[in-house]
Amino acid sequence: MAEPSGIIGQGISIRGNVSGTGDLVVEGRVEGQITLADRLTVEDAGSVVADVEAGEVSVNGEMSGNIVASQRVHITANAKVLSDIRAPRVVIEDGARFKGNIDMDVKLPDNI
C-alpha cells in the first residue's frame, strides 16, 4: 500500500530540505531541496525553487531548480519551468513554458 500524500497548502512557505517516502503535493511555496521516493506534484498555485530528486515529478505551477526523476517528469500546459531535467521519460504539454536542458539518459549504440 502506498504512503498517503502530504500537502503543503496555499499560504504555506517552507525554506529548507524536504524528504521522505510517499507523495507530496505543493500548493504553497518550497525553497531548498526536495528528495522523495515517490511523486512530487506542484499544483497551479504552487511554486518550487529547489533541486528535486523524486520518482515522478508533475508540474502544473511554477518551478525552478534541477530535476532528477527515476521514472518521469510531466510539465502541463499551464506550467512555467526553469530547470535542467534528467529522467527517462519527459512530457511537455503544448503551451507549457520551459527553459533548460533535458537529459533522458538514453544509451545509444556506438555506431550512431
Give the model's pLDDT for residue 32: 96
Give the model's pLDDT for residue 112: 52
Pairing mode of beta strands 62-64, 39-42: unpaired
> What is the per-residue pLDDT across 66-91, written as a single tens digit (0 to 9) for each?
999 999 999 999 999 999 999 999 99
Q: What is the C-alpha separation between 35 and 97, in angstroms, rounded?
A: 24
What's the Cα-to-Cα distance from 62 to each of 21, 35, 39, rounded to whole Å? 23, 18, 16
Q: What is the C-alpha separation between 91 and 30, in angstroms, rounded?
A: 23
Which are the contacts of 15, defined by CB distance < 8 A and separation ≥ 6?
Answer: 31, 32
Percentages of the chain per state (helix, strand, coil), in multiples of 5: 0, 55, 45
Q: Are 24 and 18 in contact (CB under 8 A)?
A: yes
Confidence band for 5, pLDDT divided at 50, 70 and 90:
confident
> What is the per-residue pLDDT across 17-65, written as a single tens digit (0 to 9) for each?
999 988 999 999 999 999 999 999 999 999 999 999 999 999 999 999 9
Give the model's pLDDT for residue 109: 59
